[in-house]
Structure 1
Amino acid sequence: MSGLDDVIAAETMLSEVDGANGRLVICGYRLDELAGSKSYEEVLALLAGEVLPRGAALKTRLGMARLRAFAEVAWLDEAILALSITEGLRALMARLPDGEDADTALLLVAAPAVFVPALARRKAGQAAIAPDPALGHAADMLAMLKGKAPSKAEVEALDIYLVTVSDHGLNASTFAARVVASTRAGYTSAVLAALGALKGPLHGGAPGPVLDMLDAVGTPERANSWLTGELARGERLMGFGHRIYRVRDPRADALKGALTRLGAAGDMDADRVKLAEVVEREALALLRLKKPDRALDTNVEFFTALLLEALGFPRDAFTGVFAAGRVGGWLAHAHEQVANGRLIRPQSRYVGPKAA
């Protein structure tokens, strides 16, 4: 099967992925113009301004929506805690009301930022922490995770991450959201479908194994031999290569910049950064040598793993944090589909046995 490569399934004003030139444009802005200069709330207003409030009202109402979402944490029982954080997030979000209004959209944006820290803390045997609606979205998410005020550099780093992953064309989870939205099932149903797609290791479930790779390498001196051995066994090097980008993923540079800021503020393990830099350099050199016919460059997963680890998120939470950023894009696409599209109903070609 082709995977629908190069098939145009929607027209959108939300984002453009230029894989040939390594560019990501969100609502008319290049990613490098947004990351570090606009907050996640400001990017939400760009993406979903037709369904979410704008300006100061967005921050205020999003803060109150986090409080509403926290009421659902009371339903965290042993059965949910036995699940992965991604599956627990899905279970809690399935309890939220459905609709196509601003209150539903705000709650859906708020929920992952509340549920992921709560699940991480409860699974670690700690009490969940209530949100502070006066804080910005990234700052509150970190405060709920850490149980203390995060540093300015940490808040900026998470904010850059949420902006960087907020939207990315018609990827698998976004397409799932648009298909469900096209049935008029409601925004919650669309987001749940997207979250189910994001769980797959070929989409949003891949950053954690980057850290497994770094752990296995251990020291910079072992990088070349370990990576050479993996390639000789036919293994994939995690954090390299992308379905769309033929050159370096622009999101990798945005997140590397966030890591640099963390390091300058003293909030990043210098040895971990050095190891990652050596692994990246050696991996790129080996891939160009051994797979010269394939475009395999650093992708968003490599620096996502390092950044979220530095911010204190457990590996099991990485997909959930991805969802906390991407939910803005999912909602924007769902709204665009409802407002301008129709029921998505493609055709298939039958290749089975002929009837008598």
Structure 2
Amino acid sequence: MFKKGLKDVVAVQTNIASVKGDIGELRYRGVLIDELIPSHSFEEVAYFIWYGMLPDESELKHLEIKLMNGRQLPLHVQKIIDALPAEVPIMDAVRTAISAFAHDGFTNEPIEEQAIILTAVIPVIVARYYRKQQGLLPINPDPNLSHIANYLWMLNGKLPNHLQVEALETYLKLTMEHGLNAATFSARVTISTESDLTAAITSAIGTMKGPLHGGAPSGVIELLEEIGKPGNILTVIEEKLQNGEKIMGFGHRIYKTEDPRSILLREKCTSMSGKDEWLDLATVAEKEIIALLAHHKPDRKLYTNVEYYAAAIMRSIEMPTELFTPTFSVARIIGWTAHAIEQLQDNSIFRPQSEYIGYEKK
């Protein structure tokens, strides 16, 4: 039976994550995200997705050292990044740089080691190229900083505060993995040909850059900036609803109830109440907007999606919109590499059929 876009066709069996949109549930390796995310670091959750278990103290330290060592870009990759014209979009620069890791010194490593190295270098690539675009010199990684704190350091050249790191890390832990989305499917299709991990991640990045998949939540930022302060919420939203405009950050094609990721992000933002005006505005606005949507569109059941609070967090740390999708990729590479590894463990090349509907000469 023809299913356009393979919608609802089961093509993969996986142990990595399950997404149940009808009940608003997301699990990593069988564990609900609300049980896993709040109490574990980015590095611990990454280890869990890769290996199916949480690391002990020694394993965690070993992973942290590998990630730290992996921050050093090979000289030829540095030269490629520096040679790209500044008008090349960041995701294209990342895709090009990642593809340059297809050399013997890298591909001869075990695939699990390759996954860690690619995870370590993607924020370095993003930061180096972004600063090039801004006419700024690159900043060397700081071995004393965590994966996410170091990313912010390399972007801005100043040490991020604890709240900034905590907010961004929560968002990125929640976006590491989300089932067989388009980019993850691209990675699995590529590596199913027994190509290499570099090619699989290059395919995933190329897919992620499409606005229908990895599009940035810039529309939510525009909404929050238009609202400006709590007293304007009712006026702004009522006007948009009367004009038939979409309220950005509400509704999701998979989740028919609350997005479980938005719930955790809301809790994180609420815990920072009074410490950041944008996070405060987002939490207050969400309540009023949901009430207005329920009144105007009672049959739609529109809830907050992950992009809503992601936008609030990005705005609070002054992350430029052109860095949204690359930053998303800094987290999602965990899922891409885990799926590529899993695909090779019981591989079968993807070869769906097509149905010809064109002209035939009689």
Question: Taking structure 2 as the reference length, what is the TM-score of the superposition?
Answer: 0.88
Partner SS state of residue 313, structure 1? coil
Unaligned runs of 5+ in 2: none
Query: Hey, which bits of structure 1, 4+ residues long, moved more than 4 A?
Result: 261-264
**Aligned CA distance change for structure 1 residues 85 and 218 (closer, same or farther; 3 Å):** same
Alignment root-mean-square deviation, CA: 2.4
Determine the C-alpha separation between the residues in 1 that align with 2:354 and 2:301: 31
**Aligned residue in 1 for 2:219:** 209
Partner of residue 67, structure 2: 62
- Taking the aligned partners of 2:349 and 2:26, their CA distance within structure 1 comes to 28
Separation in structure 1 between the aligned mates of residue 282 and residue 60 of structure 2, nearest angstrom: 39
Structure 2 residue 175 is the aligned partner of structure 1 residue 169 = no
Which amino acid in the other structure matches residue 255 of structure 1?
A: L
2:352 is the counterpart of 1:353:
no
CA contact (8 A) 2:279 2:313 kept: no
Give 3-state SS (helix, strand or coil) of 1:318's partner.
Answer: helix
Percent of aligned positions that are identical: 38
Asked whether the 8 Å contact 2:148–2:165 carries over to 1, the reply is: yes
- Matched residue, 2:125: 115
Question: In the alignment, what sits opposite 2:99?
Answer: 94
Q: Residues 221-251 of structure 1, C-alpha deviation per residue, up to 9 Å, x if partnerless?
A: 3333333333344432221111110001011
Query: CA separation in 2, counterparts of 1:65 and 1:14?
Result: 24
Q: Would you say the 8 A contact 1:68–1:107 is kept in 2?
A: no
Q: Decide whether the 8 Å contact of 2:187 with 2:203 is kept in 1.
A: yes
Say which is worse superposed, 23-32 or 74-83, in terms of deviation: 74-83
Deviation at 1:189, TM superposition (A): 1.3
Q: Distance in 2 between matches of 1:337 and 1:295?
A: 36
The 2-side partners of 1:325 and 1:41 are apart by: 11
> Is 2:22 aligned against 1:11?
no
Bigger shift: residues 184-193 or 285-294 = 285-294
> Partners of 1:78 and 1:228 in 2: how far apart?
49
Q: Secondary structure at the match of 1:128?
A: coil
Cα distance, 1:73 vs structure 2: 3.7
Q: 2:80 aligns with which of 71, 75, 88?
A: 75
Per-residue deviation, 1:215: 2.0
Residue 253 of structure 1 is matched in structure 2 by: 263
2:147 to 137, 142, 151: 137
CA distance in 2, matches of 1:71, 1:141: 21
Which residue in 2 is equivalent to 1:308?
A: 314
Residue 39 (structure 2) aligned to one of 17, 32, 37: 37
How do residues 151-162 of structure 1 correspond to structure 2 at under 5 angstroms?
Answer: 151-162=161-172
Q: What is the CA-CA distance between 1:263 and the residue it aligns to?
A: 4.4
Matches within 5 A, 1:259-338: 259-263=269-273, 266=275, 268=276, 270=277, 272-338=278-344
CA contact (8 A) 2:84 2:93 kept: no
AA matched with 1:286: L
Kept after mapping to 2: 8 A contact 1:34/1:163: no
1 CA distance for matches of 2:197 and 2:251?
32
Give 1:304 shift: 0.7
Partners of 1:70 and 1:320 in 2: how far apart?
22
Please report how far the alpha carbon of residue 79 of structure 1 lies from its aligned counterpart in structure 2 after TM superposition.
4.1
Where in structure 1 are there 5+ consecutive unaligned residues? none
**1:188-227 aligned within 5 A:** 188-227=198-237
Contact 1:17 / 1:25 at 8 angstroms: preserved in 2? yes
Residues 229-283 of structure 1, C-alpha deviations (whole Å, 9 max, x = no match): 333444322211111100010111222233334446x3x2x2x234323432333
Per-residue deviation at 1:156?
Answer: 2.4
The number of residues matched between the two structures is 350
The 10-residue stretch of structure 1 (242-251 or 74-83) with the greater mean CA deviation from structure 2: 74-83
